[in-house]
């Protein structure tokens, strides 16, 4: 099994693997082109995004610059979705975003994580591998979701359809469909 396959399977993997590092640098070059592109040239920006992300991007998708991610190819975005500026998607596993989603500025979506106990996390004695252990969990955001500014979505979270996440929330567990949820940690406030 390759390190990329381990990464996508949620197993510990070597973040310094040659294939993954190559993907990372290709993505950084593609992001530079996208983030520096003419904001009025929507067709060109969509072409750049379609090359960067895991599938063709529908012409109704709008992503503001700057946009940041690790690999791009692990991100799927549905139709009529708006992603505002300064969003960070750590897509070491799959990030799936549904249709009609609004993502406010400074939202962070993480799929990578590490053991919480230092001696389990840090690779002190073996320099041939990454200096720390990393594994991943996918993130899924349903249709018609609004994620408020500065929210952080942690690895393994699913947010159901028709849900609103309040600004500044830290979403560390699944949130059901049709609710308003907010806070740190993010909790359901009411049904919508």
Domain 3-191 in CATH 2.160.10.10? The answer is yes
Residues with a known catalytic role: 114
Q: What is the pTM of this model?
A: 0.94
User: Residue 103 and residue 145: Cα distance in Å, rounded?
Assistant: 8
Given this model, what pLDDT does residue 129 score? 64
Q: Where are the domains of the chain?
A: 3-191
What is the overall mean pLDDT for the chain? Answer: 93
The answer on pLDDT for 31 being more than 60 is yes
The answer on pLDDT for 127 being more than 60 is no
Q: What is the mean pLDDT of residues 105-126?
A: 87
The answer to whether residues 152 and 111 touch, using CB atoms and an 8 Å cutoff, is no
């Amino acid at each position: 099994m390759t390190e990329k396959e381990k990464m996508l399977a949620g197993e510990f993997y070597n973040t310094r693997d040659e294939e993954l590092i190559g993907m990372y640098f290709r993505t950084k070059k593609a992001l530079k082109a996208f983030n520096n592109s003419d904001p009025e040239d929507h067709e060109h920006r969509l072409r750049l995004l379609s090359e960067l992300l895991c599938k063709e991007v529908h012409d109704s998708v709008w992503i503001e610059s700057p946009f940041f991610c690790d690999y791009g190819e692990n991100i799927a975005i549905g139709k009529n979705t708006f992603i505002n500026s300064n969003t960070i998607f750590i897509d070491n596993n799959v990030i799936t975003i549904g249709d009609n989603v609004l993502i406010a500025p400074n939202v962070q979506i993480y799929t990578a994580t590490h053991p919480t106990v230092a001696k389990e996390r840090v690779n002190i004695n073996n320099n041939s591998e990454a200096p720390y252990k990393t594994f991943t969990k996918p993130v899924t955001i349903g249709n018609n979701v609004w994620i408020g500014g500065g929210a952080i979505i942690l690895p393994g979270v699913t947010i159901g359809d028709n849900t609103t996440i309040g600004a500044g929330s830290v979403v560390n567990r699944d949130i059901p469909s049709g609710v308003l949820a907010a806070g740190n940690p993010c909790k359901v406030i009411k049904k919508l």
